[in-house]
Structure 1
Amino acid sequence: MHKILVEIYNPAAEKSYDVFIPLKSKLYEVSFLLSNAISELSEGYYQASEQTVLCDRYTGEIFDINQTVEELGLKNGSKLMLL
């Protein structure tokens, strides 16, 4: 399985996390897993919910959750934000 390393920033916790994500997974799957993991890692600062959004950290562009990571053009070193 091919994976890429991305940086996920969570403003609620004011922390960044380096995470490997699979290229062939749909973003809604990745978003769900990241949301739950960061909820645990943030020690209560971030609460996972169904309204979780993944976007580009610099442009604020919200990604289409029905596309795969590869289709979105994400690469090693991409910086994302989890809201």
Structure 2
Amino acid sequence: MNKVLVEIFLPAANRSFDVYLPLESKMSEVLVLVSTLLSDLSDGKYKAMGNPVLCDTSSGIIFNINMAVAELGIQNGSKLMLI
């Protein structure tokens, strides 16, 4: 399987969303897709603009945008936060 199912918390909307992330894609590509998707799903509470940041919810570690999802250790059930 080349995708993982993660939970992304969006503080701007105070909601979490389940999203599939492609393991081979770089985080920079994933950020563009995820921020656009969550902008649509949040009913305008989050606007996809600027430089979004995706981090690990429990540790607060910000993911390196130059690495692939698989290289970052993201796996099924990972809990992330989009700021």
- The 5 Å alignment of 1:36-75 reads 36-75=36-75
Give the 4+ runs in structure 1 shifted more than 4 A.
none
- Secondary structure at 1:37 match in 2: helix
Give the TM-score normalised by structure 2: 0.96
* Alpha-carbon distance between aligned partners in 1 of 2:39 and 2:20, rounded to the nearest angstrom: 17
Give the TM-score normalised by structure 1: 0.96
* Alpha-carbon distance between aligned partners in 1 of 2:44 and 2:22, rounded to the nearest angstrom: 26
Query: Which whole-Å deviations, capped at 9, do the CAs of 1:6-48 have from their partners, x for residues lacking one?
Result: 0000000000000111100000100100000000110110011
Aligned-pair CA distance for 1:50? 2.9
* Alpha-carbon distance between aligned partners in 2 of 1:44 and 1:4, rounded to the nearest angstrom: 26
* Structure-2 residue corresponding to 1:77: 77
Where structure 1 has 5 or more consecutive residues not aligned to the other structure, the ranges are none
* Alpha-carbon distance between aligned partners in 2 of 1:17 and 1:25, rounded to the nearest angstrom: 19
- Secondary structure at 1:71 match in 2: helix
* Alpha-carbon distance between aligned partners in 1 of 2:20 and 2:30, rounded to the nearest angstrom: 10
What root-mean-square deviation, in Å, do the aligned CA atoms of Structure 1 and Structure 2 show? Answer: 0.9
Percent pairwise identity: 55
